[in-house]
Amino acid sequence: MVEPTAGRRDSPHRKPRVVLVVDDDKDVLALAATVLKDCGYEVVQCHDGRQALDVLRIRHDAIDLLFTDVVMPGMNGFDLADAAKRICPALKVLYTTGFASVPMPLVAKRHGKIIPKPWRPDDLCRQIEAALEGGDSGVGVGKASN
């Protein structure tokens, strides 16, 4: 079950945290957006890295976390995160991939937290919240539950 208040801050006067979701698969993008909205996050959806960077240039102060697929045409998730951090240095990042060929422990050590696809909705919400909380505990490979 998805925790419906995960993205809400303590005070009812504060706005929900904003997650920029980037995935070239429209079905995965829509699913991630639905799950995160159900968890209380505001979601901005982008289908590629170029579109995500355009959003960040406009809304850089409003985006709390970038949740991006690793393998995408044009610009991969790591390059996107590097470019995004130049626009917004404090931006938190969580990666996802469905490709077994991506060496996740090595990637996690260099780039940060990665959650493998397919992820369960409750796992995704927990991983997003952990990434938003930051700290060294956010580095590593997330585990998808069966």
Question: Average per-residue pLDDT in the chain?
Answer: 82
pLDDT given for residue 144 in this prediction: 42
Whole-number pLDDT of residue 113? 83
Burial 55-73, CB ≥16 within 10 A → b, else e: bbeeeeeebbbbbbbbebe
Q: Over 50: is that where the pLDDT of 78 sits?
A: yes
Among candidates 8, 46, 27, 44, which has minimal Cα distance to 125? 8
DSSP percent split of the chain into helix, strand, coil, nearest 5 = 40, 15, 40
**pLDDT confidence of residue 102:** 57
d(CA 119, CA 114): 11
Most confident of 6-15, 92-101, 114-123, 137-146: 114-123
More confident residue, 139 or 133: 133
Q: Amino acid letter at 142?
A: G
Its domain, for residue 54, covers: 18-138
Residue 144 lies in a domain: no
Q: How confident is the model at residue 29 (pLDDT cuts 50, 70, 90)?
A: very high
The predicted-structure confidence for 44-63, as pLDDT tens digits, reads as follows: 999 999 999 999 999 989 99
Q: How many CA atoms lie within 13 A of 90 on its CB side?
A: 7
Total structural domains in the chain?
Answer: 1
- Using CA atoms, how far apart are residues 116 and 99, in angstroms rounded to an integer? 8
Give mean pLDDT, residues 6-28. Answer: 77
In a domain, 4, yes or no: no
CATH label of the domain that carries residue 116: 3.40.50.2300
Q: Does residue 9 fall inside a structural domain?
A: no
pTM of the model: 0.81
The widest CA-to-CA distance across the chain, in whole angstroms, is: 44
Eight-class DSSP state of 22 = E
Q: Is residue 11 predicted with pLDDT exceeding 90? A: no
